Structures are given as C-alpha cells and as structure tokens.
C-alpha cells in the first residue's frame, strides 16, 4: 500500500518533470511566451515541493514503521532465543544483520531523497528565466538600434547618391549644350569657308 502511494507520487512527479521539459522547449520559441512560461515554471516548482514533501513524508513513515516492526521482530527473536536455543539464536542473528543492512539502505534512500529535495528547492527558475528574458530584451534592443542605424545610413547614402546623380545630369546637359554650340560653330566656320572661297 505504501509502495503504491510512493509510486503514485513518483508518477505525479514524472508528469511534472514532463511538463517541465515541455515548458523549457518553448523557451527558445519566442520572447512573448516567456511570461507565461515563468508562471508555469513557478507552478511546477511549487508542485515539486509538494510532491517531494509527500515522498519524504511517506519514506519517513515507511522507515518509522520498519523500525517499529524491526524492534518487534527483534524482541520476538529474543524471546525465541531464550526458549529454543542455539539454532534460533543463529537465525535471529542473521535476521538482525539483514535488518541492519535494510535499515542502512533505507537511511541512504532517505538521505538521497533529502538531497534531491534540497537540490530542487535550490533551483530558482523565475530568476533564471528573468535573466534569460533580460538578455533577449538586450539583444532585441541592440538589433533595433543596429537596424535604425543601417536605415539612417541607407537614407543618407540614398540622398547623397540622388544629389550626385542630379549634379551629373546637370553637368551632362551643360556639356551637351557646349558640344552642340561648338559643333554649330565648326559647321558655320566650314560653311563660311566654302562660301568665302
């Protein structure tokens, strides 16, 4: 029964871990979703604390029950030892060694669970996501400034190019006019030369 409750809590914790994976996959998606992701992660963090507290409580109850049962078994073994002799004494010693071994294993499990709880509580998801959001905002600001600078330079270059092209058009028209006048003078000179001869 207690193992089933632990498995249920671990299943719920597994679901929360899956939700955490889904949420972190969306972080790379877009800046607009970061606020809702932060809220979702806060819920997940709160649920972690709830589930790990439940798991820790169940393990603690399980260890307490095991200790009580072990004490009862040891007391029962002592009574049998007094009544049945060396054979039962050997069996009780084996049980005691096995019980101590099991208790040590459960203590290690409880310590590992405590470490897991402490690790999960130490992670500050909102602060981390806030830092990521600030970095995204800084990058966006830099990109916008670069875009504005490029557009400004482009406009300046376009204006300068248009002015230069207008000036060249005027110079070409002036050169054409001078060329036509020069050709006209040459033609008039040739015609006058033929007429005078």
Residue 28: pLDDT band with limits 50, 70, 90? low
Mean pLDDT of all residues in 164-186: 89
* Range with the poorest average pLDDT among 23-32, 35-44, 56-65: 23-32
CB 20 within 8 A of CB 13: no
CB 81 within 8 A of CB 92: yes
pLDDT digits (tens, 9 = 90+) for 37-55: 677 767 767 776 777 778 7
User: How would you classify residue 85: left for phi > 0, otherwise alpha for psi between -120 and 50, otherwise beta?
Assistant: left
Average pLDDT, the chain: 78
Mean pLDDT of all residues in 14-20: 72
Q: Helices 125-196 and 34-84: crossing angle, nearest 10°?
A: 150
Gap between the terminal Cα atoms of the chain? 135
Q: So where are the chain's domains?
A: 2-123
Please state the pTM of the whole predicted model: 0.32
pLDDT at res. 148:
92
More confident residue, 130 or 70: 130
Dist. CA 100–CA 162, nearest whole Å: 92
CB 35 within 8 A of CB 73: no
Q: Is pLDDT above 60 for 159?
A: yes
């Amino acid at each position: 029964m207690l193992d089933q409750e632990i498995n249920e809590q671990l299943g719920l914790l597994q679901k929360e871990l899956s939700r955490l994976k889904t949420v972190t996959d969306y972080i790379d998606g877009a800046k607009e979703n970061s606020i809702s992701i932060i809220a979702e992660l806060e819920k997940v963090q709160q649920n972690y604390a709830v589930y790990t507290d439940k798991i820790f409580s169940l393990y603690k109850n399980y260890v307490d029950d095991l200790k009580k049962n072990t004490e009862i078994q040891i007391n029962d073994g002592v009574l049998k030892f007094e009544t049945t002799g060396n054979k039962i004494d050997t069996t009780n010693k084996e049980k005691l060694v096995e019980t101590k071994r099991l208790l040590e294993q459960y203590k290690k499990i409880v310590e590992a669970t405590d470490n897991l709880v402490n690790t999960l509580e130490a992670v500050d998801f909102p602060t981390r996501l806030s830092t990521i959001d600030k970095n995204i905002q800084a990058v966006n600001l830099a990109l916008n400034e670069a875009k504005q600078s490029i557009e400004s330079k482009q406009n300046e270059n376009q204006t300068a190019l248009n002015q230069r092209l207008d000036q060249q058009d005027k110079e070409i028209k002036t050169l054409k006019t001078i060329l036509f006048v020069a050709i006209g003078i040459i033609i008039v000179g040739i015609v006058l030369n033929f007429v005078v001869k």
